[in-house]
Structure 1
């Protein structure tokens, strides 16, 4: 075939084949266009190829040169110089390749002449090869770190449409790639030092230890931050791939990138961890081949010590991060029944998992012949959760079987009962009855052992294994199984609680569960005490007394038997029912407390200053109109108004000191009243009943008439009962309306009022008396909640955000939007107790069960604190015309920092340790003191790190980079 020279002026003989068909112009055109590209590589390699010919030609000339010819010395020098030049060129090619292409795969012997290799000892050749491998590996590692930015970070930021939503992208990049750029900077400098040493000393390098030692000291802190973050990074990648198809596609495409080497994203972010181990291996290899007397024999062990210390010091952080990831996986995989979701705050940075184990549960009483079913129990540092584990497609889901138990309400009852046989479960059920205890469960002393009434049979095959061992599908065990199991009785002191019996497979397993439960409950108490939202401040500790429950009728008047005499009988005040703080015109801070026997007033926080100022019976409500100097009190269904100067005179010559009270209600049938401000008016609204209707009377105080000197009582009735019968003296009628429903309370909103009634929440405009009921029970969308609304009484309505309100009922809460429709897919929030009152101290609501006060965040409904007590009651819920309406935080981060520090809630509970005993040396309590207190918000003191099991780690582990909770999707998994 004919040949065509590409470049006639070139001395090269390189040619390309002519086109196979000269008659085809298109083919000729394509061939002509392709020819230069085919020769480009040739032209680029021409200099190096030509340079390689010189030593061959010069050697041939030298061989033909006769002895004594002066050219021989010059030829020898030229050949050696050209050989050195070729070695330098190859070394530079290798360094520029950075691990890519054919030059990136060269080894030390590929760059060293045979003569040089033969001139060195075999041991030294091996040492140089390991040093070369160390340098080559460092170059590839630095390039991989650089590729993280090239292959992942830049494309994620530049993607349009975005692969990850913009609002989550930066947090994702931080969580996954963390401080990789800092690592890349350190190792790029190390590569540059290696190249400098190679350039100066190649092919025989004396040592690279100094460069590695300096780098190890400098990159230590960067690794201390990066390595503990890897479990979090891996979890974020897995979580994003499982929930974001676009991201999964992006990762799969990146695997095909030329520089990815068919490795995925997790392999790249894991590269720094094995690299430290690789340093140890290579440095030990160099040390083994280093001759005696060489400085590396001393310096390499020092470098190894520094590198090993990095790995050892990051272990606590890695363990802590793995524990956090385990918590996040549980948070994602715990599945609640529809409408029963509970925010257990598992993403909190201080959350920890104390213990896990497989359990066996007996049927809930009755003559059931079915076997025991397997449960998987998780003991967090705030909740005990019983679940059923089910695996599908390699993912284990944990279906909640029983309502999670807050550790604040968990009591360990009995762990000493003898073992029982699994086959005896039926007999135990015959004795057990229903799960809910019919006796008083408010005190652990009333709880029975494993054979008690109200126990729910649960059997435990205790295990400390994590989620990896919980993936087996629960299977029923034959009721004829006669293996011994060891009962453990615990008690849930909540509305939906009672006794639970757990069964351990061995005595040691039961002991371990007891240890872990005691540990978790104890840690919870410590943490809550250090981070409690509210603390109790005493208003009165021993003024208000009620008879002891153990005081029989025969004891009351029998002095000879050590009973209480008439003087002690008169000390009983009856139950405290209400209170209100106020300030007198002269600036004194006082508090009024109402009870069954009247009203007491005293200085705040000075129990001894309490004095009875009103001898009224059955006081149930009181309020203060400070701007008008009027004290309102509801006693025995009659509403009275007193001038505060008549109760607490500022001076003996006060103009109102002898003024008689005024009765607002007329007949004796007022059930409740409420005071507030609407459209600039101070109003008092009280409710009477007429049949099934609620009649509301709205009156307005008149400041001019209040400040007038009192008039003489009008007629016999006024002088006989000591109050002015005429309503128009201090108050004038403003509105009157009725509601065809039973009503429980009335709340003043910003421009309207809300009436809490049997129908729900009636929102009314007082100007035109138009109203609307929320929620809409007739709406078919709310059918699942309709029965709950009918069975529970409304307690309160609070603004949770700018667009939402929280409706509080006796058993649950519900978020609604401005239209009155449920606004959150999580459904209702079930209270732990049965609330009798609810109060707001932003950003928290306080729910009053007789056994405890339940404190929850108003925006999330998350349980924040449990304040236990006996016969707990709310006295004042913060409503007053003189206290500004509390402002709800605008966002989740605007909460504790802006909490109002003044008390907004008063309560009372029986002071068990302050029982008053008889005066004749008896030991039986004769009266119980009622502890009246206010709730003061505290400044949270967060502990430094997660509290985990003391048996597995220290209480306050040192962590250079504590794992943080990522911005994850909330757990919204429900059973279908």
Structure 2
């Protein structure tokens, strides 16, 4: 019958005889020693082992104070006789059922054990009747302890007959599955006495015990069935060098989670044995464990998608692993569950635990202490589960990103470093798009593509499903870096795409259907016409998603790159140099300096930093950072201006002449400390009287400062090298010109005859490299017997595939070589205006004849540290020398490299000056802005990330 009372009592029938055990002390000899008071003060009917451990106020439900761990045994205390001694719910220090110190069960002391079938043999209960209920004392509703302790004392005797079944349950799957329920281990009389709501509560608590037991068993199986056999398999399932990382990545910190729950299960079982059949509370145990396992769960849950993907990838690629997993599935303890189920158990355990506790809260009577603790515990679990969702989403996104990257197939021959293996890389958005064919004669004008938006690139691919279900995505066009990606229109009207009938046949055209598709346009900012793409999304919402994803991703990329620049532009001047513009008055253009073409910094006497700027109207000199520049020389549009600080020389290449001036006098004239005539008196003609100087540069060859220039005379071009001399050597140096004059330069080796199509030269460590239309000529001016060594790249000795070599050769022949850069990997990067390729120190193409395509067409380049800087009219493209990875892009208008000599072997102090269109356009004209590109340092390191590691003895032949 249904008991209407809040906290029912069990009535002991009149004349009931005592239990067969004559004394409760005999059942627990280890727990009761000589501490019991003299005299039989305790009633044998309500005597329990916990009566000698009072803790807190009478009737306290918690077995321990809040500050004490649920896993710590309580210190023994001595109980003294009191008028009323209560039984405390969780004070009995019962040992773990698996402990070797297991006390004898009550069934071992003469009681019949509970059969596994659930056929209970118990003493009959006397149900509470309305008549007896009217004569009984009801405590106030808020007095929870007294009736609960009385009920616990009465049910304790009943529990003697079901304890053996409880131990079988805790031992794990030793009872029939239908018997592993609370109502199967409790007599019907006890269930009737408790009432429906309390019976439901006890059943849910029992479900918590059962689910925790099964969970711990599953975690143990992971080690016994999967991890240990995998680690000790012979022959090995996974190669030894990959085994440990694989186990760590797949099973992560599962062992630490197992330890937490093994301890919690022991505490729960102890509480269950102590209080069965009326378990009052387990909230304290779960709450304390929850505080302990949060960090480990957070780490596992966030890593789980990666672990699952790592397992699936190995399963698809390793046949031995497939056999191993199949063998594991045959273990009867697996119960037809796969490994993914076991790996996901920690992910699903906490939500299930939350549901069970939530159910317990709903059916708990008012006034129960659990109503104070359960909301706290539920809030903690709920907040924790919410906090892990972003981590799970990030890990799932990471897995999708890896899947996309692994499926990509790049165009053959191209070297593309998309920075895939950076931990910060992620997949932003992907989906199917369509593109219209350019050919008007194409019978199938639509091409289905799969677009992939990473956080640094946009890729357009074609999908192909191979045998075995392997998906490949072929990159159909060059990936577009987000720095160059521009968005066009997303507002176009939908167009109709004709869909083929799935049935096919002669009447296919009549059964064809038309579907609307929605266009949007993107393009490459460096090639707006050729690399312009109009793509079609299948729905309007998909087009809007693409738009939002592109806008958001580009914004994030701009902020990230702005905060992580490899080279920071620092403004030097904006406004001192002007060209006539739309707002310039007529006739004022003659007063403007004109476009800046060269610039160089140097230090004058007294440590003042000056800068010389070559413009259309002449060469101006002034203090760096000052707006006042003075025109010193009238050489308009000089081809080059070079400063040799240690030799006190200022070199100017203007038209057909190469001239030299005193650097000190130039500075004094600029600061009005000397007349202009004194500068003319210091002029020295280096070359130009015997022909026209085409180009020139300076550099160190064999530790000497060398000026190299090309001289065109009649129908041939010769390259000359001159060594700069210091003051102590001037008197001993014969003059190249008229007799009686002292030259500051002396010949270095012999003139070199080069092809007529040569247009630039650069100094190597021992030789020089001359750029021609057919390649780069390597020559030694000091050795007449082998002046011309070879032309690089040398395709005759290439060992790569003939198709790849032919493709590289064709591309190199169509490009303009700019120079060479030594890498740290025993290679040389050949820089062309449109591409770059790697060669060995013998000049042979390397890396399977692969090549890097620049995003822009470069007009010049500079080498700084581990980066090559490619200059075009609108962009400065900064790439890693060793990989070709695009690290930074600087955008501008009318960009010019002003100083490109590397006199200090690319040291951090070597300034790199660049001019571009300024920000001022007024009556004074349009300004040219001069900036210096300064290498930034690594925030977490004292060394800059661009500092190269010097490698000695690598360049014995060219010694670059």
Determine if the TM-score, normalized by the shorter chain, exceeds 0.5.
yes
The superposition leaves residues 21-55 of structure 1 with CA deviations (integer Å, 9 ceiling, x where unpaired) of xxxxxxxxxxxxxxxxxxxxxxx9xx999x98976
Q: Residue 490 of structure 1 contacts residue 501 of structure 1 at CA under 8 Å; is this kept in 2?
A: yes
Equivalent-residue separation in structure 2 for 1:688 and 1:307 (angstroms): 82
Give secondary structure in 2 for the equivalent of 1:280. helix
Q: Residue 659 of structure 1 contacts residue 710 of structure 1 at CA under 8 Å; is this kept in 2?
A: no
Q: Residue 659 of structure 2 contacts residue 687 of structure 2 at CA under 8 Å; is this kept in 1?
A: yes
Greater shift, 496-505 or 792-801, is seen at: 496-505
Q: Please name the residue that 1:917 is paired with.
A: 923
In structure 1, the gaps of 5 or more residues are 1-43, 58-79, 424-458, 460-475, 552-561, 716-723, 887-899, 919-926, 943-976
Q: Please name the residue that 1:279 is paired with.
A: 353
What displacement does 1:787 show? 0.3
1:856 aligns with 2:879: yes
1:217 aligns with 2:240: no
Which residue of 605, 613, 617 corresponds with 2:625? 605
Q: Please name the residue that 1:775 is paired with.
A: 793
Equivalent-residue separation in structure 1 for 2:178 and 2:792 (angstroms): 75
What displacement does 1:834 show? 0.6
What displacement does 1:644 show? 0.8
The superposition leaves residues 424-478 of structure 1 with CA deviations (integer Å, 9 ceiling, x where unpaired) of xxxxxxxxxxxxxxxxxxxxxxxxxxxxxxxxxxx9xxxxxxxxxxxxxxxx999
What displacement does 1:931 show? 1.7
Q: Please name the residue that 1:107 is paired with.
A: 180
Q: Residue 439 of structure 2 contacts residue 445 of structure 2 at CA under 8 Å; is this kept in 1?
A: no
Q: Residue 168 of structure 2 contacts residue 175 of structure 2 at CA under 8 Å; is this kept in 1?
A: no
Which residue of 623, 632, 642 corresponds with 2:642? 623
Which residue of 375, 378, 387 corresponds with 2:449? 375
What displacement does 1:381 show? 3.7
TM-score, normalised to structure 2's length? 0.71
Equivalent-residue separation in structure 2 for 1:534 and 1:114 (angstroms): 81
1:838 aligns with 2:861: yes
1:875-914 equivalence runs, <5 A? 875-877=898-900, 879-880=902-903, 883-886=904-907, 900=908, 902=909, 904-911=911-918, 913-914=919-920
Q: Residue 851 of structure 1 contacts residue 870 of structure 1 at CA under 8 Å; is this kept in 2?
A: yes
Greater shift, 112-121 or 749-758, is seen at: 112-121
Give secondary structure in 1 for the equivalent of 2:810. helix
Q: Residue 744 of structure 1 contacts residue 756 of structure 1 at CA under 8 Å; is this kept in 2?
A: yes
Q: Please name the residue that 2:485 is paired with.
A: 410
Which is greater in Rg?
2
1:667-816 equivalence runs, <5 A? 667-689=690-712, 694-704=717-727, 728-740=743-755, 742-764=757-779, 768=783, 769=786, 771-778=789-796, 779=798, 781=800, 782-816=805-839
1:614 aligns with 2:614: no
1:928 aligns with 2:926: yes
What displacement does 1:750 show? 4.2
Give secondary structure in 1 for the equivalent of 2:342. helix
1:292-307 equivalence runs, <5 A? 293-307=367-381
Which residue of 168, 175, 183 corresponds with 2:257? 183
The superposition leaves residues 625-669 of structure 1 with CA deviations (integer Å, 9 ceiling, x where unpaired) of 222112222211322222212311399589986423232454342
Q: Please name the residue that 1:329 is paired with.
A: 403
Which residue of 485, 490, 499 corresponds with 2:532? 499
Q: Please name the residue that 1:568 is paired with.
A: 589
In structure 2, the gaps of 5 or more residues are 1-99, 114-154, 500-507, 941-960
Q: Please name the residue that 2:573 is paired with.
A: 540
Q: Please name the residue that 2:652 is paired with.
A: 633
Equivalent-residue separation in structure 1 for 2:262 and 2:901 (angstroms): 63
Give secondary structure in 2 for the equivalent of 1:375. strand
Q: Residue 91 of structure 1 contacts residue 111 of structure 1 at CA under 8 Å; is this kept in 2?
A: no
Q: Residue 840 of structure 1 contacts residue 878 of structure 1 at CA under 8 Å; is this kept in 2?
A: no
1:132-281 equivalence runs, <5 A? 132-152=206-226, 172-256=246-330, 260-281=334-355
Equivalent-residue separation in structure 2 for 1:743 and 1:604 (angstroms): 35
1:403-442 equivalence runs, <5 A? 403-416=478-491
What displacement does 1:746 show? 3.2
What displacement does 1:118 show? 7.1
Equivalent-residue separation in structure 1 for 2:654 and 2:234 (angstroms): 70
Give secondary structure in 2 for the equivalent of 1:649. helix
1:435-514 equivalence runs, <5 A? 487-495=519-527, 497-503=530-536, 513-514=546-547
Q: Please name the residue that 2:561 is paired with.
A: 528
The superposition leaves residues 112-145 of structure 1 with CA deviations (integer Å, 9 ceiling, x where unpaired) of 5769867864745554454344223323323433
Equivalent-residue separation in structure 2 for 1:625 and 1:837 (angstroms): 22
How many residue pairs get aligned? The number is 775
Equivalent-residue separation in structure 1 for 2:336 and 2:734 (angstroms): 98
TM-score, normalised to structure 1's length? 0.69
Equivalent-residue separation in structure 2 for 1:196 and 1:824 (angstroms): 67
Q: Taking structure 1 as reference, are residues 244 and 863 closer, same or farther at Cα in structure 2, changes over 3 Å only?
A: farther
Query: Greater RCO between the two (CA within 8 Å, min separation 6)?
Result: 1
Q: Please name the residue that 2:951 is paired with.
A: none
Which residue of 345, 358, 361 corresponds with 2:432? 358
Q: Residue 903 of structure 1 contacts residue 937 of structure 1 at CA under 8 Å; is this kept in 2?
A: no
Q: Residue 761 of structure 1 contacts residue 775 of structure 1 at CA under 8 Å; is this kept in 2?
A: yes
Equivalent-residue separation in structure 1 for 2:902 and 2:703 (angstroms): 17
Q: Please name the residue that 1:65 is paired with.
A: none
Q: Please name the residue that 1:433 is paired with.
A: none
Equivalent-residue separation in structure 1 for 2:243 and 2:631 (angstroms): 65
Give secondary structure in 1 for the equivalent of 2:606. coil
